[in-house]
Amino acid sequence: MNQFCYRMLLTVCSVILLTSPAFAVDDDAGSIFIEGYTNQLSYQPGEHIAFHLSSSEPEYSVEITRLGPEKKTVFKESRKNGAAYPVPENASSHGCGWPAAFELTIPDSWQSGYYNVRLAVRDRGGKFIQRNSRTAETNLFFIVRPKQPGTQTKILIQLSTNTYNAYNNWGGSSLYSYHGRANLQGHRVSFDRPLAGQFGNWEYPFIVWAESNGYQLDYAANSDLEFHPELLQDYKLVLSVGHDEYWSAAMRDHLENYIKQGGNVAFFSGNSVCWQVRSEDEGRALTCWKQWYNLDPLFPDGDHRLLSTLWSHHLVNRPENQLTGVGFLYGGYHKSHGQFMDGSGAYKVHRPEHWVFEKTNIKQGDEFGGKDTIVGYECDGCQFEMKDGLPVPTFKDGTPRTFQILASCPAKWAPGDSLWYERFDKDRVGAAILGMYTNGGTVFTVGSTDWAHGLRGKDPIVQQVTKNILDRLSK
Same structural domain, 256 and 393: yes
Q: Is the per-residue pLDDT at 436 higher than 60?
A: yes
Instruction: Give the type of residue at 80.
Output: K
Indicate whether 402 belongs to any domain. Answer: yes
Q: Is the per-residue pLDDT at 359 higher than 60?
A: yes
Same structural domain, 410 and 263: yes
pLDDT recorded at residue 178:
73
Domain assignment of residue 95, given as a range: 34-143
Q: Taking residues 237-255, report their average pLDDT.
A: 98
Indicate whether 175 belongs to any domain. Answer: no
For the chain, what's the residue count?
A: 475
Same structural domain, 138 and 256: no
Q: Taking residues 189-199, report their average pLDDT.
A: 94
Indicate whether 345 belongs to any domain. Answer: yes
The answer to whether 379 and 432 have CB atoms below 8 angstroms apart is yes
Q: Which of 18-22, 316-320, 355-359 comes out lowest in average pLDDT? A: 18-22
Burial of 196 (0-12, 13-18, 19+ CB in 10 A): middle
> Nearest-5° angle of CA 116, CA 43, CA 270?
65
Q: Is the per-residue pLDDT at 132 higher than 50?
A: no
Within 10 angstroms of residue 395's Cβ, the number of other Cβ atoms is 15
pLDDT recorded at residue 19:
32
DSSP secondary structure string, 94-141?
Answer: H---PPEEEEEEPPTTSPSEEEEEEEEEE--SGGGTT-S--EEEEEEE
Burial of 73 (0-12, 13-18, 19+ CB in 10 A): exposed
Last residue of a domain, one of 143, 160, 189: 143
DSSP secondary structure string, 2-69?
Answer: -HHHHHHHHHHHHHHHHH-TTPPPPTTS----EEEEES-SEE-TTPEEEEEEEESSS-EEEEEEE-SS
pLDDT recorded at residue 188:
97
Q: Is the per-residue pLDDT at 28 higher than 90?
A: no
DSSP 306: T
Model confidence band, residue 181 (pLDDT cutoffs 50, 70, 90): low
pLDDT recorded at residue 229:
97
Same structural domain, 139 and 257: no
In percent, the amount of the chain with pLDDT more than 70 equals: 89
The pTM for the full model equals 0.91
The answer to whether 271 and 449 have CB atoms below 8 angstroms apart is yes
Q: Considering only CA atoms, which of 37, 456, 79 is closest in space to residue 284?
A: 37
Model confidence band, residue 5 (pLDDT cutoffs 50, 70, 90): very low
Distance between CA 467 and CA 475 in Å, rounded?
A: 12
Q: Considering only CA atoms, which of 406, 407, 379, 384 is closest in space to residue 395?
A: 384
Euclidean distance between the first and the last CA atom of the chain, given in angstroms as a whole number: 63
Last residue of a domain, one of 85, 118, 143: 143
Model confidence band, residue 424 (pLDDT cutoffs 50, 70, 90): low
Same structural domain, 329 and 449: yes
Distance between CA 379 and CA 412 in Å, rounded?
A: 9
Which H/E stretch holds residue 79? Answer: strand 72-79
Q: Is the per-residue pLDDT at 103 higher than 80?
A: yes
Same structural domain, 131 and 260: no
Same structural domain, 259 and 404: yes
- Say how many domains are in the chain: 2
Same structural domain, 261 and 392: yes
Q: Model confidence over 51-77: pLDDT tens digits?
A: 999 999 999 999 999 999 999 999 999
Indicate whether 165 belongs to any domain. Answer: no
CA dihedral over 460, 466, 469, 474, signed as positive or negative: negative
Q: Considering only CA atoms, which of 329, 437, 318, 316 is closest in space to residue 382?
A: 329
Q: Which residues are paired to 141 by β-bridges?
A: 116
Q: Taking residues 3-26, report their average pLDDT.
A: 33
Strands 327-334 and 275-280: unpaired
Model confidence band, residue 22 (pLDDT cutoffs 50, 70, 90): very low
Q: What per-residue string of b and e applies to 434-452 under the rule 16 or more CB within 10 Å gives b? A: bbbbebebbbbbbbbbbbb
DSSP secondary structure string, 443-458?
Answer: EEE--BTTHHHHHHTT
Q: Considering only CA atoms, which of 98, 113, 92 is closest in space to residue 45?
A: 113
Indicate whether 338 belongs to any domain. Answer: yes
Same structural domain, 130 and 257: no
The answer to whether 232 and 254 have CB atoms below 8 angstroms apart is yes
pLDDT recorded at residue 418:
63
Q: Which of 81-85, 428-432, 449-453 comes out lowest in average pLDDT? A: 428-432
Distance between CA 322 and CA 327 in Å, rounded?
A: 9
Model confidence band, residue 435 (pLDDT cutoffs 50, 70, 90): very high
Which H/E stretch holds residue 161? Answer: helix 161-166
Write the CATH number for 98. Answer: 2.60.40.10
Q: Taking residues 355-380, report their average pLDDT.
A: 98
Q: Is the per-residue pLDDT at 117 higher than 50?
A: yes
pLDDT, mean over the chain: 90
DSSP secondary structure string, 343-399?
Answer: ----EEES-TTSGGGTTS---TT-EE-GGGT-S-EEEEE--EEEETTEEEE---SS-
Indicate whether 371 belongs to any domain. Answer: yes
Strands 42-43 and 188-190: unpaired
In percent, the amount of the chain with pLDDT more than 90 equals: 84
Model confidence band, residue 320 (pLDDT cutoffs 50, 70, 90): very high
Q: Is the per-residue pLDDT at 44 higher than 60?
A: yes
Q: Model confidence over 269-294: pLDDT tens digits?
A: 999 999 999 999 999 999 999 999 99
More confident call, 112 vs 14:
112
Q: Which of 18-22, 195-199, 296-300, 382-386 comes out lowest in average pLDDT? A: 18-22
Q: Model confidence over 204-238: pLDDT tens digits?
A: 999 999 999 999 999 999 999 999 999 999 999 99
CA dihedral over 50, 56, 58, 62, signed as positive or negative: negative
Model confidence band, residue 419 (pLDDT cutoffs 50, 70, 90): low
Indicate whether 43 belongs to any domain. Answer: yes
Indicate whether 258 belongs to any domain. Answer: yes
DSSP secondary structure string, 187-212?
Answer: SEEESSS----STTTTHHHHHHHHHH
Last residue of a domain, one of 143, 174, 207: 143
Q: Taking residues 103-107, report their average pLDDT.
A: 98
